[in-house]
Amino acid sequence: MHEMSIAVELLTRLEELAVEHDLTRVHALTVRAGVLRGIVPEALDMAFAEAAGGTLAEGAKLTLQITPARARCRLCGERFAPTVDSFLCPRCNQADVEIIEGNEILLLSLDGASRDEN
């Protein structure tokens, strides 16, 4: 289940941010993920809950935003929205494309508490 490795990656990033912002607890986070990562939201929820156990993000609510894919054809420059099954350029029918968006995983925001607020 690749959601677990994504959850672990997110937690690592969360912990870095928590140190930067002096947070001792994380209550909620919003993550943006490209559709091409093929994340199953429920699976990520479960993986995150498991990975976050015993960390500063234990019990944190994860909101996932799935963004559509964008690609650019290397041959004709056409920009289009590929699907998981097809990367064919609608203009020249070649699959020599560069993925502009759709593979990213970004931590958009987080909501936490600092030492004083605890």
- Could you list the residues that contact Zn ion (CB under 5 A)? 73, 75-76, 78, 89, 91-92
Length of the chain: 118
Q: What is the nearest approach in angstroms of Zn ion to the Cβ of residue 98?
A: 11
Residue type, 5: S
What are 92's strand-pairing partners? none
Q: How far is the CB of 95 from Zn ion (least distance, A)?
A: 9
Residue with smaller CB distance to Zn ion, 21 or 91: 91
> What is the DSSP code (8-state) at residue 48?
H
Least distance (Å) between residue 103 CB and Zn ion = 20
Of residues 1 and 75, the one with the C-beta less far from Zn ion = 75
* CB-nearer residue toward Zn ion: 51 or 89: 89
The Cα–Cα gap between 82 and 2 comes to 22
